[in-house]
Amino acid sequence: MLTATTVFFALSLVIGFYMAWNIGANDVANAFGTSVGSGALTLFRAIILGGIFEFCGAFFVGANVADTIKGGIVPFEAFSDVRQLGVGMLAALLAAGVWLNVATFFGQPVSTTHAIIGAVIGFACVAVGPGHIKWANMGTIAASWIVSPLVGALLAYVVYRLIIRFVLRSRHPVYMARQAVPLCLAMVIFIITLSIVCAGPPKLARLVLSLPLAVVLAALTAIGARMVIHRYTRNRRIRMSQRYVVVERWFGRIQIVSACYMAFAHGANDVANAVGPMAATIQIFGQGYVAAKAAVPSWILALGGVGIVIGLATYGYKVIEKVGKRITEITPTRGFSAEFGTATTVLVCSTLGLPISTTFVLVGAVMGVGLARGFAAIDLGVIKRIFASWVITIPVSAVLAAVFFWILGAFL
C-alpha cells in the first residue's frame, strides 16, 4: 500500500542522501585539493583520510548545526499538523538541491548552507507566516555569515605572519619548522577534543570540564610527535641552499594534519545541511511525531556522513584532482595557514550550532594570507561575485521551497 506518507519518507531519505552526496562530491576538494596539488598527499590517501575525518566530524559534532537547522529557525509548535512541517522540510531539501544543481550548471559559486537556510525560511513563511520564524536566531546566523570569513581571514593572516616571523626569517628555519609540527598537531588535537566534548548541552560546563582533558591530550601528542621527529632528524644536516625547500616540505607534512582538520570541521558543519531537514522528515513520516528538543539521532548523522563519504569516493576525487592541479600558488606554508584559519573558524561555529559556509570562510582565509603578502596577486573581483551569489541564493531557494511546499502539500 503506497501512501503519501511512505512516498514522502522515501523521498526525504533519497533527497537528503543526495544532498550529502553533493556536499562530499563538491566541497571536500577545498580541504584536500591543495595538499594533493603540493604533493603532500597522494590522491588515494586524500580520499581515505578525507572520508574518515568528514565522517568523524559529521558523526561527533554534526548534531549541533543539524539541531539548529531542524528546530532553530521554525518552531514546531507553530504547526497544527506536524505533517505540514515534514512536507515543508522535504520541500526545503528539494529546493536547495535543485538550486545547487542549477547554480553549479551555470558555474556560480553557491553555498549549500545558504541555500538550505533560505529554503527553510521560504516554506515557513508560506506555511505559518513570517511572524513565527525565530528571527533572533536568524539574526545570529546571518551575522555569523559575515563574521566567519573575517575571522577566518584574521586567523590565516596571523598564522602566516607567525610562520614568516618565527620560521622563515629565523636563524634556523629548518629547526623551527620541525618545532612547528608538534605545536600545530597539539593545537589541532586541542580544538578537536574540545569540539567533540562540547557537542551536547550544557556547553559551558562541558567546556570547563573538558579543558584539562584537551590540554593533556594535546601535550601528549606534541611530546610524542617531538620524539618521533627528533629521532628521525637527529643526524641530518641541511645545506643552506636547500633550507627553504626543506621548510616547505615540513609544512607539507603539517598540511596533511590541517587538511584532516578541515575535513573534520567541514563534516561537522555541512552534514547538517542534508541531515537537519532530513531528521525532521524521517521522524515525522516514520514515527508520526517530532520533538523539537530531541537531538538528531546518531544513525541519521551517520547516514549523512556516509553520504558525504560516498560523494567523495564516487565524484569528489575528480574535483580534488582538478583543484590540486590548478592551485599551484598555494605552497604548504600558505596552504597550512589558510586551512588552519578556516578549520578553526568552522569548527568553533559548528560547536556553537551556527550553520556557516565553509567555502566562504576558506575564501576569506586565502584573502587573509594574501593580505600578509603571501600571494603574487589576488583578484578581489571574486568577492563581489561571491557576495552577489550569496544575496541571490537566499530568496531564490526560499521561493523554490515555497513552490515545492505548495505542490507537495496537495498530495498530503
Partner 1 sequence: MRRLTDLFGRSPFEPMVEHARKVHECVALVRPIADAILAGDTQGLRDLQHQMSKTEYEADEIKDRIRANLPTRYFLSVSRESVANFLRQQDRIADDAEDFAVVATLRTIHLPQELHQDFLALVDKVVQVSEQLLAVSEHLGQLQKEAFAGPDTAEVLGQIQQVCHMEWESDKLSRQLARRYYGMDDIDPITVMILEKLSAALRGIADHAENVGKNLRIMIAHR
CB of 222 to partner 1, least distance (A): 25
Q: How far is residue 195's CA from residue 246's CA, in Å, rounded to a whole number? A: 33
- Position 176: which residue type? M
Q: How far is residue 405's CA from residue 401's CA, in Å, rounded to a whole number? A: 6
Q: Is residue 243 at the binding interface for partner 1, with CB under 8 A as the rule?
A: yes
Q: Is the CB of 83 or the CB of 266 nearer to partner 1?
A: 266
Select from 11, 147, 150, 168 the one that contacts partner 1 (CB under 8 A): 168
How many chain residues bind partner 1 (CB under 8 A)?
41
CB of 380 to partner 1, least distance (A): 4
Q: Is residue 240 at the binding interface for partner 1, with CB under 8 A as the rule?
A: yes
Q: How far is residue 297's CA from residue 278's CA, in Å, rounded to a whole number? A: 11
Q: Is residue 378 at the binding interface for partner 1, with CB under 8 A as the rule?
A: yes
SS3 169: coil
Start-to-end C-alpha separation, the chain? 15
Select from 331, 344, 350, 351 the one that contacts partner 1 (CB under 8 A): 331
Q: How far is CA 21 from CA 113, 212, 351, 361, in A?
A: 14, 37, 23, 21
Q: Is residue 382 at the binding interface for partner 1, with CB under 8 A as the rule?
A: yes
Q: Is residue 176 at the binding interface for partner 1, with CB under 8 A as the rule?
A: no
Q: Which of the stretches 84-92, 117-125, 161-169, 295-303 binds partner 1 when contact is defined by CB under 8 A?
A: 161-169
Query: Taking a C-beta distance cutoff of 8 angstroms, is the pair 328, 40 a contact?
Result: no
Q: How far is CA 334 from CA 143, 246, 266, 277, 302, in A?
A: 27, 15, 19, 36, 33
Q: Cell numbers of 91, please?
A: 520541500
Q: Is residue 326 at the binding interface for partner 1, with CB under 8 A as the rule?
A: yes
SS3 225: helix
Per-residue mark of binding to partner 1, 90-129 (x: CB under 8 A): -----------------x-x--------------------
Residues 338-377 binding partner 1 (CB under 8 A) are 359, 362-363, 366-367, 370-371, 373-377
Select from 1, 2, 204, 380 the one that contacts partner 1 (CB under 8 A): 380
- Position 189: which residue type? I
CB of 149 to partner 1, least distance (A): 12
CB of 352 to partner 1, least distance (A): 25
Contact partners, residue 393, CB within 8 Å, separation at least 6: 99, 103, 110, 111, 114, 115, 118
Q: Cell numbers of 217, please?
A: 591530550
Q: Is residue 204 at the binding interface for partner 1, with CB under 8 A as the rule?
A: no
Q: Is residue 321 at the binding interface for partner 1, with CB under 8 A as the rule?
A: no
On the 0-12 / 13-18 / 19+ scale of CB atoms within 10 A, 90 is buried
Residue with cell 616547505: 248
Residues engaged in binding partner 1 (CB under 8 A): 26-27, 29-30, 33, 107, 109, 164, 168-169, 173, 240-241, 243-244, 319, 323, 326-327, 329, 331, 333, 359, 362-363, 366-367, 370-371, 373-382, 385-386
